[in-house]
Amino acid sequence: MGKNVVIIGGGIIGLCSAYYLVKAGHQVTVIDKSDMTSGASFVNAGYITPSHFIPLAAPGMISKGIKWMFNSASPFYVKPRLDKDFLQWTWAFNKSATASKVERAIPIIKAINLLSRDLYEALQSTSEFNFHYEHKGLLMCYKTDAAGEEEWEVGQRGIQEGLQVKHLSKTDLKDYEPNVDLNVAGAVYYESDAHMTPGEFMPAMLDFLKQEGVTFLANETVEDISVNNKKISKIKTNKRELQADEVVLAAGSWSPLLTQKLGLKIPVQAGKGYRINVHRATGIQMPAILVEAKVAVTPMQGFTRFAGTMELGGINHTINPKRVQAIANAAASYYNDMTIDAKEMADADCGLRPCTPDGLPYIGKSKVCDNLTIATGHAMMGWSLGPATGKLVSEIISDKKTTLNLDAFHPDRTF
């Protein structure tokens, strides 16, 4: 029998959860504090990334963070602040950034990414709605031999995991990018990856879900959540009160603000990322990550997107011009004759990625609340993991055996 499900959060995770819940016969309502036309689900690089099997909490990231802490143009910028939650998160991140924990995480991250890629392709094959999806792989372009050696080590680990990975010379790259002059020493190529245009997919999915009977409550803020006998009995927004059999929390970086109302602490920090869109011919055909600069380049429908940086500075949407300039500088540095102009930089946007201390998302139910399913903390893989997370959420709520073992994603895990 179908359940009445309320999803808090209308980003990629919320919409994919709604999709699979509706397919399983549930009644779904989605609440979002925005009008659902902006945020991290719209400004990301649009990558589906089996190649990204190393979690953010990896050895060396803390030392890099300290080195970059006082440089607001650095790829990974931590804004120093005496905030209890931030300090606890940093401590947990440090404890998670060990070689043994990374080894345990690799097959888990790879598996959920591959599941999600298969689900995107299944979604496309249904023709329920049209969206741009290309499975062309991903280039990890590097300038220095040191960076190349580091990337190839990761690539070889990917080969061990069953991924198809090649080490390309600068000459080899011409076969992949014939129309641009790359100022690089070489690249590591992952055949496994795909890319999309998020700003096209999100409205198309939204329209489809409306046709399927999903109710959307846009521009509504959840103000309070009432719990009786370990169950959410009522959700109060700024406009109404709602009741539900099951609740899905997919509110990204805002999720901890809501779980606090339930006496549940899920460590999440907002990691701000930026994007610049170039609406003119660039000649770029292949998605690429500019390794040393940590900038992602995606040829989308009608434009090229340059995205990047990770800024741990709390919840805010302030655009830092230095970080936008750093992305523009990277584009010019790696692609000869590629200049991002002042108007394109002025139109830059940002989004907040919810980061957990160990680099794995939270997917599942907490012992604190029986009818709450948490689906957040996907960091830079939110777009990639949307369908997989949505399917898993639907399986949990439908009381079915989940496609993947969820132990590693448990919201109650300790760090």
Quickly list H helices, 77-197.
84-96, 99-126, 145-160, 170-176
pLDDT higher than 70, residue 136: yes
Q: Which region among 127-136, 211-220, 307-316, 365-374 has the lowest average model confidence (pLDDT)? A: 307-316
pLDDT higher than 90, residue 1: no
Please tell me the predicted confidence (pLDDT) of residue 75.
74
| Residue 125 Cα distances to 128, 132, 214, 268, 390, angstroms | 8, 12, 22, 35, 18
The CA angle 242-248-254, to the nearest 5 degrees, is 95
Has residue 259 been placed in a domain?
A: yes
Confidence of residue 256 (pLDDT cuts 50, 70, 90): very high
Q: Tell me what the mean pLDDT of segment 125-135 comes to.
A: 96
Average pLDDT, the chain: 94
Q: Which region among 76-90, 172-186, 220-234, 341-355 has the lowest average model confidence (pLDDT)? A: 76-90
Q: Tell me what the mean pLDDT of segment 333-350 comes to.
A: 97
Domains identified in the chain, total number? 1
Q: Tell me what the mean pLDDT of segment 347-371 comes to.
A: 96
- What's the domain range around 345? 4-409
Confidence of residue 62 (pLDDT cuts 50, 70, 90): low
Please tell me the predicted confidence (pLDDT) of residue 210.
98
* Residues whose CB falls within 8 Å of the CB of residue 87, separated by 6 or more in sequence, listed in order: none
Which CATH number covers residue 113? Answer: 3.50.50.60
Has residue 306 been placed in a domain?
A: yes
Has residue 396 been placed in a domain?
A: yes
What is residue 27's three-state secondary structure?
strand
Please tell me the predicted confidence (pLDDT) of residue 52.
96
Please tell me the predicted confidence (pLDDT) of residue 70.
64
Confidence of residue 58 (pLDDT cuts 50, 70, 90): confident
Confidence of residue 400 (pLDDT cuts 50, 70, 90): very high
Has residue 414 been placed in a domain?
A: no
pLDDT in tens, 77-124: 777 778 888 889 989 988 998 999 999 999 999 999 999 999 999 999
For residue 207, the surrounding DSSP H or E stretch is helix 198-211
Has residue 415 been placed in a domain?
A: no
CA dist 191 and 138 (Å) reads: 7
Has residue 278 been placed in a domain?
A: yes
Please tell me the predicted confidence (pLDDT) of residue 74.
74
pLDDT higher than 90, residue 181: yes
Q: What percent of the chain has pLDDT over 90?
A: 87
Please tell me the predicted confidence (pLDDT) of residue 65.
64
Has residue 13 been placed in a domain?
A: yes
Has residue 325 been placed in a domain?
A: yes
Q: Tell me what the mean pLDDT of segment 121-140 comes to.
A: 96
